[in-house]
Amino acid sequence: MKLITRCKYLLSGGGQIRSCQSILFLLLILTAAKRAGAENGHGLWLRKGKTISVTVTCRSSAAMVQLACAELRENWCGKPGENITIALKPDKAIKGDGFILTPHSIQAATPAGVLYGVFDFLRRQKCRQDASITSNPSYGRRVLDHWDNLNGTIERGYAGKSIFWRDEKDSLRVTGQDRKLWRAYARANASIGINGAVLNNVNAAPPILSGRYLKKIKEIADVLRLYGVRTYLSVNFASPIVLGKLKTADPLDPEVIKWWQNKIHDIYTVIPDFGGFLVKANSEGQSGPQDYHRTHADGANMFADALRPYGGIVMWRAFVYSASDNDRAKQAYAEFMPFDGQFRDNVIIQVKNGPVDFQPREPFSPLFGAMKKTSVMPEFQITKEYLGENIHLVFLSTLWEELLNSDTYQACKGSTVARCTDGSIYPQKYTAIAGVANIGLDSNWCGSDFDQANWYAFGRLAWNDHLSSALIADEWLKLTFSPDSLTAAQLSAAHNWQNNFLAPVKDMMLKSREVMVNYMMPLGLHHIFSANQHYGPGPWYAPKNVRVDWTPPYYHRADATGIGFGRTRSGSDAVDQYHQPLADEFNGIKTCPDKYLLWFHHVPWTYKMASGRTLWDELCFHYQDGLQSVRNFQKLWDTVSGYVDEQRFNDVQSKLRKQCHDAQVYKDGCLLYFQTFSKMPFPTGYERPVYDLPYLESIDPLTMERLPFSNKK
C-alpha cells in the first residue's frame, strides 16, 4: 500500500521526520497494518477491534440477555473500567423490541431488545455517535428472503453457493462448521436488527416440507434463534398434490385445508417459534388459487387460518403478471385492489418497490397506500439482479430511501410509503419489510466488499425507515474500513483518514445509484437488459419465440417518432392507479418528473427538455455523464490505497475496472441502437462510441464472448 511504503521510507531515513510524536504515529500505522494483514471481508461491519475492559451489571439470566452481555464485554471500545447496567424491564417509551440507551445503561422490555440495544450501543461507540436515545423498530418483522435452492444454488445469487443447502446428495448433512457459519450469519443480522430469514427460494420446491428437510430446518432454526432470528419458509401452492398425493390443491377443498393444517402442526412441533410462510402464487408459472378459479384472498386466507393458532403469518407476494401486450406494470394493482379488506389480519401482501421488477429506477408501486384495509409490506432486492450483480459498485440505500420517502397522497399529504406500511397511518396487526438476500458462501458473504453495505443498509432502514443514506454510509464505512487500533486523534494527525478516505468514498457511495441509472437506462427507461442474466444492455433482444413482456422493446417502444412506454390516459392509463395529484402530474408531459418521463410517456426524439436539449441529446448527455462518473470513481479509489488493506483495495479496484468497461458497453450499445430509430447525430463534443452495434448485438455483455445465437429480431 502506498501509505505503508511511504512510512517505511521515512522510518529508514529517506525523509525528514520532525518529532518523536511523528515517529510514534508512523509506527502505529505500520503495526496496525501488519496486524490486520489481508482482510477477506468475512468480519463484515463487526470486525474485531482491541478489547477494553468493562464491567457489566445485569440481573437477568435469559440466554439472549447473557449473550448480549458477552457481546458488550468482548467488543467494548469506550473508556476502560466503566460500569454499564443492562436492565430487562418495560417502559412506556419502549415499543416491541425497542430499547433505551444512556451513556451507562441499556434497557429493553424483551431479551431481543437488549441484544439490539447492545449492538446499537457498540455501533455508536465506534461511530462516535450520541449514546442517549430511545429507539423502536419501524417494522415488527424485518426479514431476509433467501432465494436458495435445495441443491445449493441461488437464484440471482452472486456470492457463491447457499449457506443453508448443498447439492442433492449431501443437502441434509449438518456439520459443526455449518453451525458456526449460521451463528455468524445470525449475529450479523441481529447487529442491524433483522429478525427473520426465509430459508428457500420463492420458486419453492415442494420437498422443503418433507420430514427429512424439516429435520435440517430445525437445526438451522435452533442456531438462528440464539440471536432472535425467526425461521420462515417459502412454500409451493401445489404441495398437497406433490407431497400429499391429493388430486387438487384447491384452497377451499376440505382435504387440502386439512393437509395444510397437519403440515403446519408438524412444523410447529419441531420449531415452536416458526414465523410463517412466504408464497409466490400464480406468477411466472407457479401454481396458485387461480388455477381453481379462486382468488388470491382465498389462497392466502387458507394459510392464514391454519397458521393463526401458532401466531404465524402469511407473506403473499403481489408479483403477478400475465403474458399480454397490455401493460405489465398495471397487473398487480388490478389483481389485488378488488380484494382489499378481504384478507385475514395475519396476511401481509408483499409488494416489490416498483410496479415492474426491481428496476434501477421505477416509480413506487401504486399498491402502497392504496390498500387501506390490508397489511402491505415493501419488498426490496438486496442482491443486484438488475444493478450490476456483484461487480458494479451501487449503494442501494439511496434507492430504498427514495421509495420510503415517496408521497402516495393516499390519506393526506405526507402519506409516504414508509408511513403507509409501518403502521403510522393504517392500522396493521403485523408490520413487515423484506429484502432479497445477497448472501452466499464467498468469504466476504456478498461477492463484493461494497455489496455488504446493502445488507447493512437494509437492516438499518428496516429498523428505522427514516434514516438517511448519508448516515448509513457513514456508519458502514467507519465500521468496515476504519483502522480500529488508532484513536480519532491519531488518525487525524497521522493521515487524515476522515478527509482523504471517509468523505470521498462516502460521496462515491451516495452518488453510485444515480450514476448507474445514467449509464444503464436514464429518464425512465427500464428493463432493457441483455436476455441471458439481466446483465449488460440488450434493447434489441426480441426473438419471436419469447413472450413479448420478456423482451426490451416491449418496454422502450422505440420507433421513428420517439421512445418510451405510453402509460398516460391516452395510453395504458397506468397513471390513474396513482392518487391525485400524482395521477395528473405523471400524465402531463410537462409536469412528469424527468426521471420518470419515459416510464409514463412516449416522447418525440426532438422534444425540448427543461435543460434546453432535445430528448435525443439529453439521453446522450445522461449516458456520457454516467460513464464519466464511473471513470471518476475508478480514479478516486486509486487515491485511497493507503487507507485500505491490500486485498480489499485490489478487489474493489478490479471490479471498478470492469464496471468502467461495462458502462462504456451500455452507453455504446443503447445509443447506437436507439440511433437507428432517431436518425439523429451525436451532439457536438459528445464522446463517440468505442464499439459498433453489430458486435455488441452478438456478444454476452458479461463475458464479452460471442453468443451461440443471434440477439436480433
**Is position 482 within any domain?**
no
Residue 289 inside a domain? The answer is: yes
Range of the domain at 539: 514-565+602-706
Determine the angle formed by the axes of helices 615-639 and 646-678, rounding to 10 degrees: 170
A 10 A CB-CB count for 18 gives 7
| Contact present, 369 and 415 (Cβ < 8 Å) | yes
Query: Is residue 522 domain-shared with residue 561, that is, in the same domain?
Result: yes
540 and 523 co-located in one domain: yes
Judged by DSSP in three states, 299 sits in helix
One domain for residues 88 and 148: no
Whether pTM exceeds 0.75: yes
**Alpha-carbon gap, residue 399 to 397, rounded angstroms:** 5
CATH number at residue 632: 3.90.1330.10
Check whether residue 534 and residue 622 sit in a common domain.
Answer: yes
Let me know if residue 319 belongs to a domain.
yes
The CATH number of the domain holding residue 106 is 3.30.379.10
Torsion angle of the four alpha carbons 10, 16, 19, 22, in this order, in degrees rounded to the nearest 10:
-30
Q: Does 169 lie in the same domain as 61?
A: no
* Residues annotated catalytic, as ranges: 284, 357, 385
399 & 302 share domain: yes
pLDDT at residue number 304:
98
In terms of domains, do 350 and 415 share one?
yes
> Domain check: are 73 and 151 in the same one?
no
Do 151 and 191 fall into the same domain? yes
C-alpha cell belonging to residue 331: 397487473
488 domain-assigned: no
Residue 120 contacts residue 114 (beta carbons within 8 Å): no
Domain end position, chosen among 433, 467, 501: 467
Q: Note the pLDDT tens digit of each residue in 95-143.
A: 999 999 999 999 999 999 999 999 999 999 999 999 999 999 999 999 9
Q: Looking at the structure, do residues 150 and 64 belong to the same domain, yes or no? A: no
Residues 89 and 199 in one domain: no
pLDDT score, position 707: 83
Bridge partners of residue 58, in order along the sequence: 86
Residue 40 lies in a domain: no
Domains identified in the chain, total number: 3
681: left (phi over 0), alpha (psi -120 to 50) or beta: beta
Q: Are strands 82-88 and 105-108 parallel, antiparallel or unpaired?
A: parallel
Tell me, what CATH number does 403's domain have? 3.20.20.80
Q: Which value, in Å, is the radius of gyration of the alpha carbons in the chain? A: 26
The answer to whether residue 541 is domain-embedded is yes
Cα dihedral across residues 464, 466, 472, 473: positive or negative: positive
Residue 386 lies in a domain: yes
- Verify that 463 and 529 share a domain, yes or no: no
Got the DSSP string for 532-580? TTS-SB-TT---TTS-GGGSTHHHH---SSEES---STTTT-GGGGSPT
Residue 611 forms part of a structural domain: yes
Q: Which of 135, 160, 194 is the last residue of a domain?
A: 135
What whole-number distance in Å separates Cα of residue 76 and Cα of residue 55? Answer: 10
**pLDDT-flagged residues of the chain (< 50):** 1-36, 493-494, 713
